[in-house]
Amino acid sequence: MELQIRDVSKTYPNGVQALNNVSLTIPAGMYGLLGPNGAGKSTLMRILATLQEPDSGSIRLGEIDVVREKDRVRQTLGYLPQEFGVYPKVSAEELLEHFAILKGIAAKKARREVVEALLRQTNLWDVRKQKLGGYSGGMRQRFGVAVALLGNPKLLIVDEPTAGLDPAERVRFLNLLSELGENSAVILSTHIVEDVSELCTRMAIIDRGTILLEAEPLGAIEQMRGRIWRSVIEKRELAEMEREHAVISTKLLAGKTLVHVYADGSPGPAFDPAEPDLEDVYFATMAGHIGRRRERAEAAA
Ligand code: ADP
């Protein structure tokens, strides 16, 4: 089931324009929405989850008009918000059972089966009797997925799920999501580039409410080949480097500074060609070397 977002805009009462004419086509599979804090990701996720309305624009999920037919959307949609509050004194099994009742799974036997299947799928079966207050961040996130999956959603929206997870929990959580992506559309909103590069077959980059790039991660990385150059410098040389070259990112490397520069040809003898990755795509897009920021700058020139 394809999700079509057309010209969606949203301005909050305080005057902040969180979304500015956002258009995206999101097919089945894992879709990454990547952008820095404040880019507008959560606003878009909440609008898709029918918790908030856009000022203008249209959204269709297959046949369903997402803005007008909220009840129909809610039947086919699962939403895992950024902050997932749980009742700390209740066990995972009890709370999931409770949500299943709210979801309208009335028959007791069917409900038991659904609850068991979801707890097994999210790897929480062995700890199902534990109180949620004692769950780790990762376990809580996986419980959130179990809740979001009640009722077999065709679209699953996951907002900043890996923030605060330790590396092992993060891997387990991403594996769970990638299994889900085999059967339904999953939108993953994140500011973490690796989440997208490890998982998503399609992606968009958003900043200040505007979509800057829509791409397939592997294709976008391939297009950067020959355009990313690396140099290891002393920290005090950075200011000069930034004056003379299009520095897109810097990283500390054993006390030195690793610089990535965007250039169509070699910027000089101090540089080596770098093997491009999605981080280069992201920073080159944000800096306006590729994508719509560049197209706009070229149109204005
Ligand atoms: P992200 O999820 O990418 O961090 P958000 O959608 O949360 O971005 O926020 C986008 C912009 O809208 C930010 O400038 C944020 O401060 C602002 N914003 C978000 N929610 C509200 C709100 N309820 N009222 C006013 N401004 C908001």
- The per-residue pLDDT for range 238-251, each reduced to its tens digit, is 999 999 999 999 99
pLDDT of residue 85: 72
Instruction: Name 158's Cβ contacts closer than 8 Å, sequence gap at least 6.
Output: 80, 145, 148, 177, 186, 187, 188, 189
Other beta carbons within 10 angstroms of residue 203's beta carbon come to: 25
CA distance 41 to 189: 6
CA distance 135 to 190: 23
pLDDT of residue 102: 87
229 is written with which tokens?
Answer: 């150059």
Q: How far is the CA of 185 from the centre of ligand 1 (A)?
A: 24
Angle subtended at Cα 127 by Cα 121 and Cα 131, rounded to the nearest 5 degrees: 120
CA distance 8 to 11: 10
Residue 132's Cβ-side half-sphere holds a number of Cα atoms within 13 Å equal to 18
Q: How far is the CA of 50 from the centre of ligand 1 (A)?
A: 16
List of the chain residues with pLDDT < 70: none
Q: What is the pTM of this model?
A: 0.92
CA distance 44 to 162: 18
pLDDT of residue 81: 82
For 158-175, how does the pLDDT look when each residue is reduced to its tens digit (9 = 90+)? Answer: 988 887 788 888 888 888
Q: How far is the CA of 11 from the centre of ligand 1 (A)?
A: 9
| For the CA of 19, the nearest atom of ligand 1 | 10
For 96-129, how does the pLDDT look when each residue is reduced to its tens digit (9 = 90+)? Answer: 999 999 888 889 999 999 999 999 988 899 999 9
Burial of 147 (0-12, 13-18, 19+ CB in 10 A): buried
pLDDT of residue 179: 85
Closest CA to 60 of 185, 188, 189: 185
pLDDT of residue 169: 83
* Residue minimizing CA distance to atom 13 of ligand 1: 38
Other beta carbons within 10 angstroms of residue 269's beta carbon come to: 7
Judge if the beta carbon of residue 12 lies within 6 A of ligand 1.
Answer: yes
Instruction: Name 179's Cβ contacts closer than 8 Å, sequence gap at least 6.
Output: 121
| For the CA of 159, the nearest atom of ligand 1 | 2
* Residue minimizing CA distance to atom 20 of ligand 1: 43
Q: How far is the CA of 275 from the centre of ligand 1 (A)?
A: 35
Judge if the beta carbon of residue 14 lies within 6 A of ligand 1.
Answer: yes
